[in-house]
Amino acid sequence: MIKIANYIDGDLVPPKSSLYMDDVNPATAEVFAQIPLSNQDDLKAAINSANKAFPMWSKMSVEKRANYLMKISSLIKENLDQLAQAESQDTGKPLQLARVVDIPRASANMEFFAHAITQFSSESHSGKNSINYTLRRPVGLVACISPWNLPLYLFTWKIAPALAAGNCVIAKPSEITPYTAYLFSRLCIEAGLPKGVLNILHGQGPEIGNTIVESENIKAVSFTGGTTTGRRIAEISAPLFRKVSLELGGKNPALVFADCDLDKAVEGLVRASFTNQGEICLCASRIYIEKSIYEQFKGKFIDKVKALKVGAPDEQSSKMGALVSAQHLDKVRRYIAIAKEEGGRLLCGEEPIELEEKYKHGYFLRPHVFENLPNTCRTNQEEIFGPLVSLNVFQGEEEALLLANDSEYGLASSIWTNDLSKANRIADQIETGIVWINCWMNRDLRTPFGGMKNSGLGREGGLEALRFFTEPKNVCIEF
Ligand code: NAD
C-alpha cells in the first residue's frame, strides 16, 4: 500500500493528525494508496516554511528560478512512464492518454513558464514632463488548488507561473487523484528546489482546502474546480481584497453548419465529447447541428461513437477508461435517467462493455448520446462532466447563436463551417472565453485561458498568469 506524504519545508512528512483516507483505483475499485488528512497544524508548518523561504526566492534572479523549473521539467520527462502509470491508476483514464497528453503537458508547463519569466517585461509610460514605469513584484504566499480530471497537468499549470514569478506556494491537489502530486513533490526534492518554496498539502477540499483559503496569510488563490466551490472561495476572498483566479465549470456548445467539412466535424466532435471519458472542462456537451445535415451528421457520429473502445486503461486500443469514482459514476447515471425523463431519445450507450475479471467492479460507462431534448432542460443546462452529449437542431446562424448563449456557463465553444466570415461573426458574439473554429483543444500556452459567466473569473496562460501572480506598482519620475 502506497502511503502518500505531505511536502512541507522541503521534506516528505506525515500529516500532524496521523489520519489518512483511501485512494481508489477507479478501474478496479481497489484501494491502492493512503492519502494524508491535513489540518491547520500542517498548514501552519507550511506557512512558516514558505514565509522563511520567500525573501530568498523572490529576490533570486529569474534565470536561477527558471533553472529550477527546467530541472523539474526534465525530471518529469525522465519519469514519464512512472508518472503516466500513476495518473492512469488514480483517474481511470487510458494509460496512452496520460502518456501523450497529461504528463508531457505537465513537463511543458514547467518549461513554458521557465522561458516565459525570462521574457516577462513590465510597462512604461512616458509623458510631457515625467516617465512612469511599472514594477511587477511577486504577490507573496499564494495557494494553488486543482481538480481531479487532469491532475498533474492542471497542478503544474498553476504552480509553474506562481513559482516563476517569485511567489512561495501552498498547493493542494484533489483528494480524489493525489498520487502524481506526491510523485511531483519527490521530483522537486530531487531537483534541489529550496525548501519552503513549494509546499503540498493533501486532504479533503472542505477541510484543508477551506482552511487554506481562510488563511489571511494567503495573498492570492488560483483555483480550478467546480462553480459552487469557486463561489465559496470568492466569498471568503472578497473581504480580504485578495486576488482570485477561478477556472470553473462549463457546458460547452458546438455549432455544426451545413457548409462544414462533415467528416472533420464528426471526427473532431467525437474527440471533443469523449476524450478523457468526457471529463474535461472543455469537452463539448451540447452539439447543435444545422437542420439540413442533421440526419447525415447523426448517422456518422453515432457510428464512430459506437466504435470507441471502452476498456482496460492499460490496453493500447482503449479510447475510454473508467470514470474517476463511484460517486461520479452515480452522478452521470442520474443524468442519464434525467435525460430520459426529459423526453430524450437515447441513440447509443447501453451496449454491454467487455471487461476482464480484474476490471469487473470498475466504474466504466459507455458514451451516451441523446437527441430530442429541449434547450431549457437540465441535461442541456447543467454540467454533467462525463460521457453524455446531446444532439440538437438549429436553423440559421441567428438561432445557433441564441441556443449556444442560452447558458449560465461560458467556458469554451467550437464552430464547424467552411465560411470563415460566418465563423468570425459568431466567434465575436458567442459568450465563451475560448472559441475553436474547425478544431478542438488546440492549445497554445501563450493564449489567455478561462471562462465567462459562471465559468470563472480571470484568465490563466502566458503573460496573463504571470500578471496574476505579480503585484503591479507604478513609479513616476518627474523631470
Ligand atoms: P471541486 O470544486 O469539488 O474540487 C476542486 C478542488 O477544490 C479540489 O482540490 C478540492 O479538494 C478543492 N475543494 C473542494 N472544496 C473546497 C473548499 N470548500 N475550499 C477549498 N478547496 C476546496 O471540483 P472537482 O470535482 O475536483 O472538479 C470538477 C470541476 O472542475 C468541474 O466543474 C470542471 O468543469 C471543473 N474544471 C474546470 C476547469 C477549467 O479550466 N475551467 C478545468 C478542469 C476542471
Nearest-CA residue for atom 21 of ligand 1: 209
Nearest-CA residue for atom 43 of ligand 1: 281
Q: Which of 224, 277, 413, 432 to mutate to test the pocket of ligand 1 (most atoms within 8 A of CB)?
A: 224
Residue 175 pLDDT class (50, 70, 90 cuts): very high
Report the distance separating Cα 437 and Cα 441, nearest Å: 10
What are the backbone dihedrals phi and psi of residue 219, each rounded to the nearest 5 degrees, phi first?
Answer: -95, -15
pLDDT at 463: 94
CB-based contacts of 205: which residues, under 8 Å, 6+ apart?
A: 145, 172, 174, 175, 225, 229
CA-to-CA separations, 206 to 37, 251, 385, 452, 457, in angstroms, rounded: 11, 24, 21, 25, 21
What grid cell was written down for 135? 514594477
* Secondary structure (3-state) at 332: helix
For residue 408, indicate whether it is catalytic: no
Mean local confidence (pLDDT), 228-235: 98
pLDDT tens by residue, 108-152:
999 999 999 999 999 999 999 999 999 999 999 999 999 999 999
Report the distance separating Cα 312 and Cα 364, nearest Å: 9
Clarify whether residues 120 and 107 are in a common domain.
Answer: yes
* Catalytic option among 247, 342, 383, 431: 247
Clarify whether residues 307 and 205 are in a common domain.
Answer: no
Clarify whether residues 96 and 13 are in a common domain.
Answer: yes
Clarify whether residues 231 and 257 are in a common domain.
Answer: no
For residue 281, indicate whether it is catalytic: yes
- Residue keyed to cell 489540518: 39
Report the distance separating Cα 315 and Cα 94, nearest Å: 8
CATH number of the domain residue 373 falls in: 3.40.309.10
Clarify whether residues 467 and 435 are in a common domain.
Answer: no
- Cα 328 to ligand 1 centroid, rounded to whole Å: 13
Type and span of the H or E element at 466: helix 462-468
pLDDT at 334: 98
Report the distance separating Cα 190 and Cα 51, nearest Å: 22
pLDDT tens by residue, 430-462:
999 999 999 999 999 999 999 999 999 999 999
Mean local confidence (pLDDT), 279-290: 98
Report the distance separating Cα 195 and Cα 168, nearest Å: 10
Instruction: Write out the residue range of the structural domain in which residue 325 sits.
Output: 252-444
Whether residue 386 lies inside any domain: the answer is yes
Return the half-sphere exposure (C-beta side, CA atoms, 13 A cut-off) of residue 264. Answer: 14
- Cα 147 to ligand 1 centroid, rounded to whole Å: 4
Clarify whether residues 215 and 295 are in a common domain.
Answer: no
Clarify whether residues 124 and 162 are in a common domain.
Answer: yes
Q: How many domains does the chain have?
A: 2
CATH number of the domain residue 71 falls in: 3.40.605.10
CA-to-CA separations, 333 to 287, 340, 345, in angstroms, rounded: 20, 11, 15
Mean local confidence (pLDDT), 206-210: 98
Whether residue 165 lies inside any domain: the answer is yes
Nearest-CA residue for atom 15 of ligand 1: 205
Clarify whether residues 404 and 261 are in a common domain.
Answer: yes
Whether residue 449 lies inside any domain: the answer is no
Asked if residue 172 has its Cβ within 6 Å of ligand 1, the reply is yes
- Residue keyed to cell 442541456: 380
Report the distance separating Cα 450 and Cα 246, nearest Å: 8
Clarify whether residues 133 and 276 are in a common domain.
Answer: no
Nearest-CA residue for atom 11 of ligand 1: 205
The residue among 434, 464, 339 whose CA lies nearest residue 390 is 339
CB-based contacts of 479: which residues, under 8 Å, 6+ apart?
A: 129, 130, 131
Nearest-CA residue for atom 39 of ligand 1: 247
* Catalytic option among 168, 260, 281, 283: 281
Clarify whether residues 355 and 370 are in a common domain.
Answer: yes
- Residue keyed to cell 488560483: 222
What is the identity of the amino acid at 99? Answer: R
| Residue 471: strand pairing partners | 137
Whether residue 101 lies inside any domain: the answer is yes
Report the distance separating Cα 275 and Cα 367, nearest Å: 10
Q: For the whole model, what pTM was predicted?
A: 0.97
- Cα 444 to ligand 1 centroid, rounded to whole Å: 23
Clarify whether residues 359 and 473 are in a common domain.
Answer: no
Whether residue 136 lies inside any domain: the answer is yes
- Residue keyed to cell 454540467: 383
The residue among 451, 476, 445, 470 whose CA lies nearest residue 153 is 445
pLDDT tens by residue, 319-356:
999 999 999 999 999 999 999 999 999 999 999 999 99
CA dihedral 305→308→311→317, nearest 10 degrees, is -170
Q: What is the mean pLDDT of the chain?
A: 98
Q: Which of 23, 224, 229 to mutate to test the pocket of ligand 1 (most atoms within 8 A of CB)?
A: 229
Atom of ligand 1 nearest to the CA of 173: 9
Residue 92 pLDDT class (50, 70, 90 cuts): very high
The residue among 274, 28, 50, 41 whose CA lies nearest residue 143 is 50
Asked if residue 410 has its Cβ within 6 Å of ligand 1, the reply is no
Residue 201 pLDDT class (50, 70, 90 cuts): very high
- Cα 119 to ligand 1 centroid, rounded to whole Å: 31
Whether residue 188 lies inside any domain: the answer is yes
The residue among 302, 296, 317 whose CA lies nearest residue 393 is 296
Residue 79 pLDDT class (50, 70, 90 cuts): very high
- Cα 459 to ligand 1 centroid, rounded to whole Å: 16
pLDDT at 287: 98
- Cα 191 to ligand 1 centroid, rounded to whole Å: 29
Clarify whether residues 239 and 346 are in a common domain.
Answer: no
| Residue 134: strand pairing partners | 474
Asked if residue 451 has its Cβ within 6 Å of ligand 1, the reply is yes
Whether residue 204 lies inside any domain: the answer is yes
Residue 258 pLDDT class (50, 70, 90 cuts): very high
Whether residue 450 lies inside any domain: the answer is no
